[in-house]
């Protein structure tokens, strides 16, 4: 697509800071730049620590979603999982209650400063709430080495784990832990090894994962993510990067366009926000979210408007990333 001019993007952009219902990824507020194009609203929200080269891909995704028609959907609703941050076990039930009808839970593990005993207690609490029919997947965010991952997977196996997401950092480590766990029938999913890699297909070529986690923003938009899934030849789970409902709508568009959708998607994370930017947030209802464009609400944009200093920071970031995309 031909990129819109920077002045047009900045004129159509609003920056918000939303409170989190539960601290997640070390933050209690989520900042995002939202922009309205001819096709509707889109979100640019790479995490603050990401450099401009990485963040530019997120901007490409936002501009594509706001300025270009998207692939035709193959389904009208997307089943989603609950997301359980690295909280104490006694908080699990309250968090799961925010995810109406979800039959699957993704549980954060390997949190810095916590122990495997904390992880086991958290997963045990999830299983107790969800019962034997619920599905539990765990996400280590590359927090283990291979030996730690093997030990943890064995310890968590009693809870009937659907898969382990990004247990280790490198593709070689993922390949090794996948081989070690093959007899345990615990699949390995790759997230960071796809969305943060120079070559998002390397993990598939190496036979290092059973499942790929794809996110529309980090991969440059719906069409590019669809191409990666097609080339990888592996089942895909569409997830979010703690987006507002506007960002989640792009994730839902990606999930809706996939030829096959074998797993519940990680697109229910609006439930982790204490506020949103739309009058109809994409909260799970009956375990699913609809596939639809989400309009921003002017009153909510104003109520959660970021400070002038933070707004200036995001405008400068967009300016730098836009220059990278256009070669200016």
Instruction: Calculate mean pLDDT across residues 217-242.
Output: 96
Can you say whether residue 207 is alpha, beta or left, with left for phi > 0 and alpha for psi between -120 and 50 degrees?
left
| 191 assigned binding-site residue | yes
- Residue 116 and residue 321: Cα distance in Å, rounded? 39
The pLDDT score that the predictor gives to residue 26 is 74
Q: For residue 67, is it within any domain?
A: yes
Tell me, yes or no, whether 308 and 191 share the same domain.
no
Domain count, the chain: 2
Query: Does residue 108 have an active-site annotation?
Result: yes
The pLDDT score that the predictor gives to residue 64 is 98
The pLDDT score that the predictor gives to residue 198 is 87
The pLDDT score that the predictor gives to residue 33 is 98
Q: For residue 83, is it within any domain?
A: yes
Instruction: Calculate mean pLDDT across residues 145-156.
Output: 98
**Boundaries of domain holding 33:** 6-71+298-326
- Residue 169 and residue 178: Cα distance in Å, rounded? 13
Is the full-model pTM beyond 0.85?
A: yes
Q: For residue 64, is it within any domain?
A: yes
Average pLDDT, the chain: 96
- Catalytic residue (choose from 14, 108, 304, 317): 108
- pLDDT > 80? residue 166: yes
pLDDT tens for each residue of 167-212: 999 999 999 999 999 999 999 999 999 998 889 999 999 999 999 9
- pLDDT > 80? residue 161: yes
| 172 assigned binding-site residue | no
- pLDDT > 90? residue 328: no
| 165 assigned binding-site residue | yes
Percentage above 70 pLDDT, the chain:
100
- Residue 311 and residue 101: Cα distance in Å, rounded? 37
- pLDDT > 80? residue 135: yes
Tell me, yes or no, whether 167 and 197 share the same domain.
yes
Measured CA angle at 162 (ends 113, 46), to 5 deg: 55
- Residue 203 and residue 209: Cα distance in Å, rounded? 7
- Catalytic residue (choose from 98, 215, 224, 304): 215
Tell me, yes or no, whether 308 and 280 share the same domain.
no
Tell me, yes or no, whether 66 and 110 share the same domain.
no
pLDDT tens for each residue of 79-121: 999 999 999 999 999 999 999 999 999 999 999 999 999 999 9
Query: Does residue 196 have an active-site annotation?
Result: no
- pLDDT > 80? residue 1: no
């Amino acid at each position: 697509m031909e990129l819109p001019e920077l002045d047009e993007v900045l004129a159509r952009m609003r920056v918000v800071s939303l409170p989190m219902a539960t601290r997640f990824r070390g933050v209690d507020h989520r900042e995002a730049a939202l922009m309205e194009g001819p096709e509707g609203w889109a979100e640019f929200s790479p995490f603050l620590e990401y450099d401009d080269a990485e963040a530019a891909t997120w901007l490409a995704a936002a501009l594509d979603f706001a300025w270009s028609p998207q692939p035709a959907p193959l389904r009208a609703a997307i089943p989603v999982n609950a997301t359980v941050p690295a909280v104490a076990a006694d908080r699990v039930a309250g968090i799961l209650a925010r995810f109406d009808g979800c039959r699957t839970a993704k549980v954060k593990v390997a949190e810095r400063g916590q122990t495997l005993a904390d992880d086991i207690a958290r997963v045990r609490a999830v299983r107790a709430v969800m019962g034997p029919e619920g599905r539990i997947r765990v996400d280590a965010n590359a927090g283990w080495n291979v030996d730690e991952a093997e030990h943890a997977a064995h310890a968590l196996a009693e809870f009937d784990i659907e898969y382990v997401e990004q247990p280790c950092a490198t593709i070689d480590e993922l390949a090794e832990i996948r081989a070690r766990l093959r007899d345990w029938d615990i699949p390995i999913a790759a997230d960071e090894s796809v969305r943060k890699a120079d070559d998002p297909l390397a993990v598939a070529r190496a036979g290092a994962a059973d499942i790929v986690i794809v996110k529309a923003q980090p991969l440059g938009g719906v069409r590019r993510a669809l191409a990666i899934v097609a080339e990888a030849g592996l089942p895909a789970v569409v997830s979010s990067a703690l987006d507002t409902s506007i960002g989640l709508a792009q994730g839902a568009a990606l999930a809706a366009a996939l030829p096959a959708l074998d797993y519940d998607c990680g697109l229910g994370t609006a439930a982790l926000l204490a506020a949103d930017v739309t009058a109809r947030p994409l909260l799970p209802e009956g375990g699913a979210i609809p596939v639809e464009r989400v309009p921003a609400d002017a009153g909510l944009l104003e109520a959660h408007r970021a400070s002038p200093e933070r707004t200036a920071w995001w405008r400068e970031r967009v300016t730098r990333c836009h220059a990278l995309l256009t070669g200016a």
